[in-house]
Amino acid sequence: MSTAGRAGMLGAMTVQERRAGRVLAVHDGRVLLLRGSDPARPADGDWWFTVGGGCEGDETTAEAARREAFEEAGLVLPADLGPVVLHRVAEFSFEGRDHRQTEDFYLCRVDSDAVVTTGWTALERRSMSEHRWWGVDELERTTEVVHPEQLAALLTTLLRPGPAAEPLNPGAAAEPLNPGAAAEPLSPGSPGRP
């Protein structure tokens, strides 16, 4: 289904609008991704996604990214995450609720590849199954679903020696995030948690 068709369908439904901060946590040239699925739709399969999640209260996206990085992976990130390296709008359904999520991504190099998942909430324990550090070459070759879809190209640009890249905005089109979402109405996972 086209993005315009999906947007029209979303307009007729109750959609939870939210902001989110996400982290491209990089160690030795590899990015940390989590594997998740929608417990309400196991037949949709699973996907890999970056650490991060929705803003709580008056949090900025950077504050949400730091909090979520600690809760989801035990990562303690600096107070200043630097500039937004990717801004996008993602539309998805998760646990039977439709979401339109405005996401800011931050690049953060970390000193260790240790990951701690003891901070996972009950929802995260139901919806996230593992973590993995991915190299750009692995992201380019994988047949698994990874979000954001342009992650390998983005990391290639960001990790290249030289001046910092300008923040990316892939345009107004929202990226459907759960497998099968483009083929059916949006009342049915999220590469982040709601």
Question: pLDDT digits over 27-71, tens only?
Answer: 999 999 999 888 888 888 898 999 999 999 999 999 999 999 999
Asked if residue 188 is part of any domain, the answer here is no
Q: How many domains is the chain built from?
A: 1
pLDDT beyond 70 at 181: no
Asked if residue 67 is part of any domain, the answer here is yes
Please give the C-alpha separations between residue 164 and each of 42, 77, 83, 110, 155, in angstroms, as whole numbers. 40, 19, 10, 18, 12
Measured distance CA(139)–CA(135) in Å, rounded: 6
Q: What is the mean pLDDT of residues 137-157?
A: 95
Counted residue by residue, the chain has a size of: 194
For residues 84 and 106, the answer to whether their CB atoms sit within 8 Å is yes
Asked if residue 114 is part of any domain, the answer here is yes
Characterize 60-93 residue by residue with b for buried, 16 or more Cβ atoms within 10 angstroms of its Cβ, and e for exposed.
ebbbbbbbbbebbbebebeeebeebbbebbbbbb
| pLDDT bracket for residue 163 (50, 70, 90) | low
Measured distance CA(100)–CA(19) in Å, rounded: 9
Share of the chain above pLDDT 90, in %: 54
26: containing domain: 3-183
Asked if residue 191 is part of any domain, the answer here is no
Asked if residue 193 is part of any domain, the answer here is no
Asked if residue 189 is part of any domain, the answer here is no
Q: In terms of pLDDT, which residue wins out, 189 or 162?
A: 162
Asked if residue 194 is part of any domain, the answer here is no
Measured distance CA(115)–CA(143) in Å, rounded: 24
Asked if residue 173 is part of any domain, the answer here is yes
CATH code, domain with 105: 3.90.79.10
Q: In terms of pLDDT, which residue wins out, 14 or 6?
A: 14
User: Can you say how many angstroms the Cα of residue 49 is from the centroid of all Cα atoms in its chain?
Assistant: 5
pLDDT beyond 80 at 188: no
Other beta carbons within 10 angstroms of residue 160's beta carbon come to 9
Alpha helices in the chain (DSSP H): 3-12, 61-73, 122-127, 136-141, 151-159
Q: In terms of pLDDT, which residue wins out, 4 or 145?
A: 145
For residues 15 and 100, the answer to whether their CB atoms sit within 8 Å is yes
* Element holding 147 (H helix, E strand): strand 146-147
Q: What is the pLDDT of residues 59-75, one digit of tens each?
A: 999 999 999 999 999 99
